[in-house]
């Protein structure tokens, strides 16, 4: 148990618009942390959201609140839950966390705008229906975010290592 100091990502993105470069640096750090935790046997965090991501004083991402990771309960926060959350027959996996982080990345790159505020949740199909097809057409990473938010879990990134590699390529293009 490490005592972590810093501000939540939620507070940071409420204060100011992140530069895409900074957002992607933090996204890569997040992916490395999640990949490490997955390698230690964590099947899923189950509550990825900006309030559970801290930015340390030395500008490093710290993942917090693992209370749901160790119990056999879905949990999670409204607005960040993946479609499989609503299917009693499906467990949450690392790909569920990828879905949630796709929403976080969208917020990081779009001035803290919640994606769900610009979409409607379809209870029958268990997916976000984009009211405006341009909702994800930000200058950066819309293809990454779209892949994270696929309803079909098999169409998302398989793990955070794969997600990180794509992110790193986008980051190189922004530098």
88 is catalytic: no
3-state secondary structure 5-74: CCEEHHHHHHHCCCCHHHHHHHHHHHHHHHHHHHHCCCCCCCCCCHHHEEECCCCCEEECCCCCCCCCCC
Task: Supply 9's token pair.
Answer: 């990502």
Query: Among residues 47, 51, 132, 143, which one is catalytic?
Result: 47
What span, in angstroms and rounded, lies between the C-alpha atoms of 40 and 50?
Answer: 23
DSSP calls for 106-157: HHHHTTT--GGGGEEEETTTTEEEESSTTTT--SS-HHHHHHHT-SSGGGS-
Known catalytic residues are 47
């Amino acid at each position: 148990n490490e005592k972590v100091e810093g501000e939540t990502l939620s507070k940071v993105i409420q204060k100011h618009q992140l530069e895409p470069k900074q957002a992607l640096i933090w996204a890569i750090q997040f992916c490395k942390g999640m990949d490490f935790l997955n390698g230690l046997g964590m099947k899923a965090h189950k509550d990825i959201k900006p309030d559970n991501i801290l930015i340390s004083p030395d500008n490093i991402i710290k993942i917090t609140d693992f209370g749901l990771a160790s119990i056999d309960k879905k949990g999670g926060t409204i607005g960040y839950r993946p479609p499989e959350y609503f299917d009693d027959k499906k467990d949450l996996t690392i790909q569920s966390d990828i879905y949630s982080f796709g929403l976080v990345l969208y917020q990081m790159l779009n001035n803290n705008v919640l994606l769900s505020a610009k979409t409607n949740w379809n209870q029958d199909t268990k997916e976000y229906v984009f009211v405006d097809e341009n909702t994800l057409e930000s200058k950066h990473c819309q293809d990454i975010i779209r892949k994270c938010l696929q309803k079909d879990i098999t169409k998302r990134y398989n793990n955070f290592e794969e997600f990180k590699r794509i992110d790193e390529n986008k980051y190189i293009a922004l530098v």
